[in-house]
Structure 1
Amino acid sequence: MLLKMDYIEFSCPEFAASQRFFEQAFGWQSVDYGPDYQELQQAGIGAGMARAAQAAPLLVLKSDDLEAALLQVTQAGGRITKDIFAFPGGRRFEFVEPSGTAMAVWSER
């Protein structure tokens, strides 16, 4: 199964300041999905920002079969940090690869 890079999510402790920065520096507009999440509208790869205690990017991959992707990630040595959960628009899980890079896989199904 081939997974492709689909989205990057920024964790932003200073949520309002980050929103202003992305808008002023890059012209990215945002769409609110509640008080703690915004999708960033811009050309290229999809992006969003989530309110969080620490700043860290999250690389998000897309799959048509989330359960198979979870199995593939764990068999390759990924450590699951959040089991499959639903969110507006789909479901996803989060993991770290062996060197510690935080990643996620999502599916619309």
Structure 2
Amino acid sequence: MARISYVELPVQRVGEARDFYAQAFGWSFTDFGPDYAATTGGDVDIGLNGSEDHAIAQLLPIVEVEDLEAALASVVAAGGEVTVPIFAFPGGRRFHFRDTAGNQLGAFVNEPDAH
């Protein structure tokens, strides 16, 4: 079943944001390079995105799906607009889309063995 399982926050300084959330809420983060860190053990995890290549401008809810290509086709068939085509990241693949109300979201498939 598809569900929002991840929320990505745009940040300029990943280390500073990571330290803030660790101190404020006791969250533990895994660093995925110098421009990305994420919690990895919650029901809904948080990503801190400081990437220039895959930068986001606002909060990005991300829906976990079982079949990414089928989800992309369903989004388009329902009237959504793909804003970032499928790309790989450590642990999976995802795409971004805009719903019919103009909200930006992402969809991803968890592929732990993917590089």
Q: How many residues align?
A: 108
Tell me, in whole angstroms, the C-alpha distance in 1 between the residues paired with 2:40 and 2:66: 23
5 Å-filtered alignment, 1:28-67, equals: 28-41=27-40, 43-51=42-50, 56-67=58-69
Q: Indicate the larger mover: 50-59 or 71-80.
A: 50-59
Q: Secondary structure at the match of 1:29?
A: coil
Q: Which runs of 5+ in 2 are unaligned?
A: none
Q: Tell me, yes or no, if the aligned pair for 1:4 and 1:62 is still in contact at 8 Å.
A: yes
More strand by share: 1
Q: Tell me, yes or no, if the aligned pair for 1:9 and 1:58 is still in contact at 8 Å.
A: yes
Aligned residues with identical type, % of pairs? 37
- TM-score between both structures, scaled by the size of structure 2: 0.82
What is the alpha-carbon root mean square deviation over aligned residues? 1.9
Cα distance per residue 1:26-79 (max 9 Å; x no partner): 111211000111012564311111105765211011111111100100111111
Q: 2:98 aligns with which of 76, 96, 100?
A: 96
Are 2:93 and 1:83 equivalent residues in the alignment? no
Residue 74 of structure 2 corresponds to 72
